[in-house]
A and B are shown apart, each in its own frame.
Chain A
Amino acid sequence: MPRLAPQMGPTMEEVTGEVDDALKAAKKVLDAAATAKLLEGVKTVATGDGSSSAKEMGEVVSAVASSMKSAGELQSSLIKQMAELVQRENGSDDAELKSMMNRIMMMKMLEALGGQNRQGVPPELKEVLDLLREENRRLREEIEKLKEDRRPDPVSEQMQSLTMQLLSQHISNVTNPFQGLRELAKMREELRDLLGPQESVPPEYSEGALRAKALEKELKALEMEEAIRMRELDQKERMVREYVPGILNQAGAVLANVLQSFGLAPVRPLEFSSEAAAEAERMAEGA
């Protein structure tokens, strides 16, 4: 088996010092007492007087988680350092191998310590975790309830639908003026009924009596107008009876003359007065 060539590297004492430092840091972090103390603080916050807010509790949980994460990171850095040391010490003599073995042993011890820490969860922490779970569940329920509360209630929904209905009705009234007029007339009728016949009004001034008087006046006016119209018609008829035949005869004569003057009428036979015709006949007979 070839021997490894000696290499320059840190001394065993330096490595041991570094490992010791790392162990110290790990112990500091993973100290059960310190952890218990921290968890106790968390418990105090969670199960306190009830004034702790969800934010505070979240902060505590976050701190716990970050500490746990730091522990993990620390462990991984230790392993990394161990691996580097093993690489550096590769090819060293038996003494160096022994020291290497020591380091591995220390690592095992560290692992055991870590496993012991993991297995050894104190009951207070369990209690805190249960409390936290319970609180988480309660908070979830509360959030659900709040979400449900934020939904519009049936009354407001009913109000909203009613508002929409009234608005659409108003719009339809505006777009259909006759509907509005009809409603107005109806309201007017109702108002008239409300303000209807007053018992204090004397009968001669009642609505019926006034209406009858107005109708009588209207009837008289119509009769007068009828008489005037009849008189005008009589006059026109008389005029027509008297003048139209003469006008027609005249128009006919004018038309006949016009037609004759344009050669459109036949030659009328000779027409002499009876006296002249008789005397002329005697003259002709005398021959």
Chain B
Amino acid sequence: MVPFAVRVVCNVAAGQLVKFLASKSPQEVAEWRERAVQWWKEDRDLSELIPLDFKIPDHIKRKIIGRGFVGRVTRRVLDAFAVKVDGTCPAYDLILQYVHDMAGNARRELDGRNPEAAEVMRQVQVIAAWLGNPKVRPWYYRNMDRAYAKIADQLVGDYGEPGGRTGKEGEEAVAGTAGATETC
């Protein structure tokens, strides 16, 4: 079971990912794909490929983790995002499925009108299917856990102002979340 809020988050994340890849040319995407396969073969960290060194502004953090209904929902989503069920991560799988479906819809829209963009969407679909392959999926889960920990650390750990979690509470929350999200 994936909660509604987690689904929304997965949808947003998938949309952002598709948009990011859609801004690339087919060659760039092809290169990115080759590099990903290579890194998978070498069991390297995918976070080196995707820039995760961004900083979330404090006012955004305050809005996300602040008091009230939004803060409570955000914390619930963060807690539920990395939950694993029977050895699978439903939220991570959902992101892959959304990426594949969105790329497929876009490809159908672009077919015959913009072959290059359609080719990009096709390659995105292939990448999503590759990440969902049972052989590649554990590596994908490990990289997603690292990325999640980094984002959660920014959202919860660094944010110690009144109205949100203290730094210690954030660390505990991250630690608890990390404990819950065992590496696949």
Contacts and interface: CB of A to CB of B under 8 A. Distances in A.
Interface stretch (B19-27, B131-139, B141-149, B165-173): B131-139
A262 interface: yes
Contacts of B3: 263
A260 B3 CA distance: 8
B54 interface: no
Given A267-B93, A272-B125, A273-B100, A280 B130 contact: yes
A263 B129 contact: no
Secondary structure at the B interface, as helix, strand, loop or mixed, is helix
A287 B96 CA distance: 21
B40 interface: yes
Contacts of B127: 280
Interface string B76-90: 000000000100101
A60 B74 CA distance: 144
Q: How large, as a class, is the contact surface on chain A?
A: 20 to 34
B111 to A, nearest CB: 13
Interface string B113-138: 00000000010011111101101100
B125 A263 contact: no
Contact of A271 (B41, B97, B130, B133): B97
A287 B129 contact: no
A281 B37 CA distance: 12
A283 B130 CA distance: 7
Nearest to A278: B129
Nearest to B80: A263
Interface in A135-194: none
Contacts of A279: 126, 129-130
Interface in A240-287: 260-268, 270-273, 275-277, 279-281, 283-284, 286-287
A272 B2 contact: no
Give the residue among B88, B104, B133 with the most A Cβ atoms within 10 A: B133
Given A267-B93, A287-B41, A280 B1 contact: no
Contacts of B69: none
Interface in B36-87: 37, 40-41, 85
Given A263-B1, A270-B93, A277 B129 contact: yes
Nearest to A271: B97
Interface in A43-65: none
B150 interface: no
Contacts of B122: 275-276
B125 A284 contact: no
Contacts of A272: 100, 125, 128-129, 132
A120 B73 CA distance: 155
A40 B128 CA distance: 166
A112 to B, nearest CB: 156
Contacts of B7: 260-261
B126 A276 contact: yes
Contacts of B90: 267
A155 to B, nearest CB: 106
A275 to B, nearest CB: 8
A287 B85 CA distance: 28
In the A-B complex, list the 3 residue pairs whose CB atoms are closest, starting with the nearest.
A280-B129, A280-B130, A272-B129
Interface of B: 1-4, 7, 33, 37, 40-41, 85, 88, 90, 93-94, 96-97, 100, 104, 122, 125-130, 132-133, 135-136
21 contacts: A260-B7, A263-B1, A263-B3, A263-B4, A264-B1, A267-B85, A272-B100, A273-B100, A275-B122, A276-B126, A276-B129, A277-B129, A280-B132, A280-B133, A283-B33, A283-B37, A284-B130, A284-B133, A286-B37, A287-B40, A287-B135
